[in-house]
């Protein structure tokens, strides 16, 4: 399996057509993501991203995925569903890469809009969205997290795991590390002190 950062490097600018149906659709990106980053296939979306969001055919099994409807709780690696463009009613599904404090998110997507799923304009790409009413919510893969805000797909997962395993990073009392927050001088010095303790022990 690979992490989210390597998944982006591997597929950005390329077409993905996992199911060999209707060209490279947005759902194909998610299917490939599950295979590469979670280690299993999630199967059919039932014809559209919107059907996948409604989960009418149990694409996102409750034992493996958590449904997120509070948009303030979105994390990198989440599978985010939108109403799609005004040109279709199939909905759209993307992979969340980053949440910005200004109400914007960075996503990895394929075939947004009225594309036919066959042209180069429908290839995988990084885009920016407003965190607004077009976003319905997300599904999050339930994995054993080292911190609640650090999924296995986090680009610095291995470094963060090393820091936790070696007693350098302890995180907050609520289980978060704050991995994507601004690092204050105080927190940086705490990390250095923890590192010094393990180095001299």
Examine the domain organization and report whether 48 and 133 are in the same domain.
yes
d(CA 35, CA 38): 6
Examine the domain organization and report whether 183 and 126 are in the same domain.
no
Q: Please, what is the angle between helix 4-11 and helix 26-33, to 10°?
A: 130
Q: Please report, for the domain that includes residue 42, its CATH number.
A: 3.90.1720.10
Domain of residue 61 covers 4-141
Examine the domain organization and report whether 37 and 135 are in the same domain.
yes
Q: Kind of pairing, strands 104-109 and 125-130?
A: antiparallel
* 155 within 8 A of 5, measured Cβ to Cβ: yes
Examine the domain organization and report whether 189 and 125 are in the same domain.
no
The residue-averaged pLDDT of 163-167 equals 85
In a domain, 152, yes or no: no
Examine the domain organization and report whether 96 and 11 are in the same domain.
yes
In a domain, 128, yes or no: yes
In the predicted model, is pLDDT for residue 31 greater than 90?
Answer: yes
Looking at the chain, the whole-number percentage of residues with pLDDT higher than 70 is: 92
Examine the domain organization and report whether 132 and 161 are in the same domain.
no
In a domain, 89, yes or no: yes
Examine the domain organization and report whether 25 and 105 are in the same domain.
yes
Residue-level pLDDT at 151: 78
**Cα-Cα-Cα-Cα dihedral sign, residues 115, 121, 127, 129:** negative
Average pLDDT, the chain: 85
Examine the domain organization and report whether 75 and 16 are in the same domain.
yes
Return the H-helix or E-strand segment holding 98.
strand 92-99
pLDDT single digits (tens) 138-153:
999 887 567 878 877 7
In the predicted model, is pLDDT for residue 36 greater than 60?
Answer: yes
pLDDT single digits (tens) 60-109:
888 789 899 998 888 889 999 998 766 667 889 999 999 888 889 999 99
Examine the domain organization and report whether 41 and 87 are in the same domain.
yes
pTM, rounded to two decimals? 0.73
Residue-level pLDDT at 187: 86
Residue-level pLDDT at 114: 56
In a domain, 14, yes or no: yes
In the predicted model, is pLDDT for residue 5 greater than 60?
Answer: yes
In a domain, 148, yes or no: no
The residue-averaged pLDDT of 122-129 equals 91
The residue-averaged pLDDT of 105-133 equals 80
d(CA 53, CA 139): 8
Nearest to 190 by CA among 180, 156, 157, 177: 177
Domain count of the chain?
2
Nearest to 68 by CA among 35, 102, 96: 96
Examine the domain organization and report whether 65 and 163 are in the same domain.
no
Examine the domain organization and report whether 38 and 127 are in the same domain.
yes
In a domain, 133, yes or no: yes
Residue-level pLDDT at 81: 94
Examine the domain organization and report whether 9 and 49 are in the same domain.
yes
Q: What are phi and psi of 179, to 5 degrees?
A: -60, -30
For 112, what's the count of Cα atoms within 13 Å in the CB-facing half-sphere? 17
């Amino acid at each position: 399996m690979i992490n989210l950062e390597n998944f982006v490097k591997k597929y950005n600018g390329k077409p993905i057509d996992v199911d060999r149906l209707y060209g490279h659709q947005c759902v194909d990106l998610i299917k490939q993501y599950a295979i590469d980053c979670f280690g299993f296939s999630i199967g059919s979306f039932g014809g559209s991203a919107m059907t996948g969001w409604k989960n009418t055919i149990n694409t996102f099994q409750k034992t493996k995925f958590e449904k997120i409807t509070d948009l303030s709780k979105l994390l990198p690696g989440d599978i985010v569903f939108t109403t799609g463009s005004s040109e279709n009613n199939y909905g759209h599904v993307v992979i969340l890469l980053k949440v910005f404090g200004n109400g914007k998110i960075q996503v990895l997507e394929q075939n947004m809009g009225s594309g036919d799923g066959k042209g180069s304009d429908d290839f995988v790409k990084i885009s920016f969205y407003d965190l607004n009413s077009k976003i319905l919510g997300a599904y999050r893969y339930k994995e054993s997290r080292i911190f609640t805000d650090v999924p296995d797909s986090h680009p610095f997962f291995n470094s963060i795991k090393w820091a936790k395993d070696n007693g350098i990073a302890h995180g907050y009392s609520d289980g978060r590390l704050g991995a994507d927050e601004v690092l204050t001088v105080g927190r940086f010095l705490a990390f250095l002190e923890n590192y010094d303790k393990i180095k001299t022990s």
